Chains A and B, each alone.
Chain A
Amino acid sequence: MKKLKKLFIFLLIVFVGIQFIPTKRNQSTEVLETDFSKTFAVPTNIQNMFEKSCYDCHSNNTNYPWYNKIQPISWLLENHIKEGKKEFNFSEFGAYSKRKQKNKLKSLASQIRDNEMPMQSYTLIHRDAKLSDNDKEQIIVWINKLRDSL
């Protein structure tokens, strides 16, 4: 029993300790000139879907949930966002080469079609980020048209 108490105190100290570790917040009020919405003429409803379902991890501006302030959740989110932006960043899309833009658009459509994005672990919490079949269809049709025009 005594051991259990010690363990609990130990874990508590670690938990409190890690709260002091700073995290880099992915937030910016500025919409860059290279943002997807400024690079192409994106219909409002499509842009809204992107912002709701993708921008948290794939842009320079994350709309953080309240629990983000708690470690180790902050770490987890920070990593997701880092990975996400490396793969595809809506805020910098205009700076990509044409070659890269075309390939990224292709991947975007196929990831959405195959239900790989947005990630299940994300939509589980962000219910409104889930794309309906109709949403998916709209995005894919529009993306394919855009790809052909590039």
Chain B
Amino acid sequence: MKKSIYVLALITILFSACKNDKKQAESNSMQSSEMNMKEADGHDHDDHDHDATMGENSSKEERNIDATTQKNSATSAIIDSYLQIKNALVEDSKEGAAKGGAMMLTAFTDFDMSQLNDSQHKEYMEILEDAKEQAEHIVKSPIDHQREHFENLSIDVNDLIALLGTDKTLYQSKCPMAGEGKGAIWLSEYKEIKNPFFGSKMISCGSVQKQIN
């Protein structure tokens, strides 16, 4: 008799656990369809963004000049968390980078979006979506994966600064060997080259491309 009560209890628990799961799945899919709508809305913008990030230099250059005239402290927490990840990777510290990833997720959550205008909002949402994904992976991945995601994250943070500005002085450097030989950029708070993509293996690979502020 006692046993059958246990069995019943177990089955009930399993059933209810399953229900919760379903609900969650539903709300997830709702969220993602919302996202898709947003993305569809921002289509024109998409292309613009694409030009700006991919067009090797000209359009990118322009955006960064914008950033130098825009002193904005709202992006500071996000940039600080980025620099924490960067410095941890320079020191080959997986744990430090994971901590920075968590800091970044918090920084994005705390970011006040109400100050963005309409056109900024669309691109911000795209950067946010991507950067959050990179940060989540940095939290849970081994260091070589962290570094791959850091490459993408560097572009996101660079574009964020181009979009919204910063009051920090930063240096954009490029390592020609990173990104599977295609080269990759990173941002640093100091001029000296300390490479986050290879760490101690190739600490001085790269050169400063430009100064922001």
A residues within 8 Å of B by Cβ? 6, 10, 13-14, 17-18, 21-22, 24, 34, 82, 86, 92, 95-100, 103, 106-107, 110, 150
CB distance from A18 to the nearest CB of B (A): 6
Q: Mark each residue of chain B from 11 to 54: 1 if its CB lies under 8 Å from any CB of chain A, else 0.
A: 10011001000100100100010001001101000110110011
Closest to A72 in B: B14
Query: Contact check: which of A18, A86, A96 meets B39 at CB < 8 Å?
Result: A96
| Count of inter-chain pairs, beta carbons less than 8 A | 64
CB distance from A19 to the nearest CB of B (A): 11
A98 touching B15 by the CB < 8 A rule? no
CB distance from A131 to the nearest CB of B (A): 19
The binding surface of chain A is classed by DSSP as helix
| Additional pairs, 13, CB under 8 Å, beyond known A97-B126, A100-B130 | A10-B6, A17-B10, A21-B14, A21-B18, A82-B25, A98-B50, A99-B127, A99-B156, A103-B134, A106-B148, A110-B180, A150-B50, A150-B54
Q: Given the complex of chains A and B, what is the CA–CA distance between A99 and B127 in angstroms?
A: 8
Please report which residues of chain B, range 49-64, place their CB below 8 angstroms from some CB of chain A when the two chains form the complex. Answer: 49-50, 53-54
Closest to A107 in B: B148
CB distance from A87 to the nearest CB of B (A): 9
A14 touching B39 by the CB < 8 A rule? no
* Contacting residues, chain B, for A34 (C-beta < 8 A): 36
A24 and B25 contact, Cβ closer than 8 Å, known pairs A14-B10, A100-B126, A110-B148: yes
